[in-house]
Every structure is written in C-alpha cells, then in structure tokens.
Amino acid sequence: MTLEDLRVFAAVCKAHSLSAVARELGCTQPAVGQHVARLERELNVSLLNRRARGVTVTPAGEVLHRAAVDALGALAAATRMVGDIREGKSGSLLITTGTTTVRHFMQAAVVNFRQRFPGVSLEFRPGNSTRQCLELLRRDPIDLAFVTTAVPVQGLEQRPVIEARHMLLVPKDHELAGRRRLRIAELKGLPFVGLRSYTSPDSRLAKQLADGGVVIRAKTMVDDWDNAGMMVELGVGLAIVPSIHAHSFVKSGNLAAVRIGGLSPILFGWTARDFERLSKAALHFMALVDAELSSANDMDGCRYLG
C-alpha cells in the first residue's frame, strides 16, 4: 500500500470511473486499475464493484475511502506547514548559547530577525559552557548553537565566525591600564576573578597559563564574562576575557583592557547537526549575526573570519 495507491483510489471513489481518473492523470485505465487491485490484494477484500459504466464503492471501500481522504488531507496540511517552516513563515528557531552572547553578539540581529520573520518564534536556551550547549544541541530539538569552536565535535558541523584574543580587564585607574600588551609572566601574583570554565583542569586557557608559570587561584568565582566584568568594576579583582567582550566593557567607561600575548585566540561560531537542512529563518539569523560581527575587525584583538 502506497500513498499513490490511496490517492488514485480516492480519485476513483470520487469520480466513480476508472477511465475518468486515467484521463485526469494522463495514464491508461489498466494502470489506474492496478493501484486499486494492489489495495484489494493487500486487504483481501473487494473495494469496488465494476459495472458496465463506471464503478460503485463497496462498504469496505467506503471505510478505506474515508480514511484515505482524512489521511491525505492531513498529509497535505502537514506538507504546507513544513513548507512554511522551511521558508520561515512559521515555526520556531531555537538557539543555545552562552548567557552573555546575545548582549555582545546578537542585539541587532534579534531586532532585524523579528522584523523579517514575524511568524517565527525565537527562543534562546542558555548554557554555562560550550560543553553544556553542545549537550543541549544533541539532546533537545535545538537548531543552532553559538559557542567556541576550537575543537572539532564528532557528529556536528561547525562554522567559525570570529577570532578573539584574550585581554586583561582592569579598572581604569589601575597601574596596568595604560599598557597595550602584557606577557603571560606579568600575570603572576595578580588578584583574579575566576571563571569556572577557565579555571577547570581541562580549560585550554588554564593549561596555557600554567605552561607560562601562571596559575589562577581566584577567591571570587563567577559563571560568565559579564559577571567577571562587574566584579572588576567593583574592585575585587582582575579578569581575563575575550577581546570582543572586553571592548563592550571598555565602552562603559569604567574599565580598560590590555591584550595578553602568547595565548591562543578563542574561536566563536555556529554549530549545527546539518547546516544544509536548516530552515530559511535559521540561515537568515546566522547571516544577520555574521554581519553584526563583521564590524569586529575594527576592534583590537578581534578578527572576523567570514
């Protein structure tokens, strides 16, 4: 039993004629009859009474006809809905990312997206780390993750968008505020605000700092870069943050940022199961964010990868 069998059978029930359906479909009458015969063999029951002129539907045929019409109608409706989702006319776009990402990377993109796709709901699922975001992407019906992309992830596709250097956030009146660049060794003994993702044993940054003889033993711990910046403003310590975040803090007027040499940059970008299967709305949102980040080339320590 195939969908085409049911479509042809429903058409025959409506027209009460094999030949009329054959003309409508541009095929032969025996070809139409084969669809009906296949259904009858599979169900082991007669569905039509063949007459000299046309056909009538048996009681069993009436049952199948009603079910076929309902099923084909539901399938047509679902196909239209899927098409609307694919074209960005409806549906939802779910993105998992860090708790501070929307503020730093996506403000203009969110506004433009809402204007371009008013029928699509936009939802962000925050994660405290790249690992947590990727777990959400694998486990839940999420479309995209915007995370660090330094290490390939099995079963997922990645598209790096921006490269950010590490910078030290300090109060504007701090003795290091006037420096343009620091060596890793110069970080020894500084009072740090710690980020859990940075101070964990498997952190790339922690390993690079340790190779340079610096171990972060922070007495104040936070979960994200925004809270780290706030702690620096409060004067409880200094913080190492990506350059793109650092520039946002510097704009506030209370902080200064100094680039740290000798550390590998952080790559931020998109991760998805299959980029080619994303909806038009998802692809458009990615393009909006990429356009917003393209201006980061003008910032010290940032490079847009396009």
pLDDT in tens, 245-266: 898 888 877 899 999 999 999 9
pLDDT in tens, 171-190: 999 999 999 999 999 999 99
- 201 vs 84, residue with greater confidence: 84
Q: Are the CB atoms for 192 and 260 separated by under 8 Å?
A: no
Q: How high is the pLDDT of residue 122?
A: 93
Residue 199 has pLDDT above 70, yes or no: no
Residue 74 has pLDDT above 90, yes or no: no
Percentage of residues of the chain with pLDDT beyond 70 = 96
Mean pLDDT of 290-299: 85
Residue 103 has pLDDT above 90, yes or no: no
| Segment of 8-12, 21-25, 268-272 carrying the highest mean pLDDT | 268-272
Q: How high is the pLDDT of residue 289?
A: 94
pLDDT band for 22, please (50, 70, 90 cuts): confident
Q: How high is the pLDDT of residue 270?
A: 96
Q: Are the CB atoms for 171 and 177 separated by under 8 Å?
A: yes
Mean pLDDT of 208-230: 88
pLDDT band for 290, please (50, 70, 90 cuts): very high
Residue 110 has pLDDT above 60, yes or no: yes
Q: Are the CB atoms for 117 and 90 separated by under 8 Å?
A: no
CA 156 to chain centre: 11
Residue-averaged pLDDT of the chain = 88
> DSSP string of 129-173?
SHHHHHHHHHHS---EEEEE-SS--TT-EEEEEEEE-EEEEEETT
Mean pLDDT of 112-136: 90
Q: How high is the pLDDT of residue 200?
A: 58
User: pTM of the full predicted structure?
Assistant: 0.71
Helix axis angle, 3-15 relative to 29-43, nearest 10°?
A: 110
Residue 201 has pLDDT above 70, yes or no: no
pLDDT band for 197, please (50, 70, 90 cuts): low
**Domains delineated in the chain:** 3-86 (1.10.10.10), 92-160+267-296 (3.40.190.10), 166-260 (3.40.190.10)
Q: Are the CB atoms for 8 and 21 separated by under 8 Å?
A: yes
- 47 vs 200, residue with greater confidence: 47
pLDDT in tens, 52-71: 788 899 999 899 999 988 88
Mean pLDDT of 95-117: 90
Q: How high is the pLDDT of residue 34?
A: 92
Helix (H, G, I), strand (E, B) or coil at 23: helix
Q: How high is the pLDDT of residue 123?
A: 93
Mean pLDDT of 103-124: 91
Per DSSP, what are the bridge partners of residue 92? Answer: 121
Q: Which amino acid is at 221?
A: M
Helix (H, G, I), strand (E, B) or coil at 121: strand
Q: How high is the pLDDT of residue 253?
A: 77
- 183 vs 223, residue with greater confidence: 183
Helix axis angle, 280-293 relative to 107-116, nearest 10°?
A: 150
**Which DSSP category does 27 fall into?**
S
Q: How far apart are CA 9 and CA 23, in angstroms?
A: 14
E-strand stretches of the chain: 48-50, 55-57, 92-98, 121-127, 144-148, 157-164, 166-171, 181-182, 193-195, 220-222, 239-242, 255-260, 266-272, 302-304
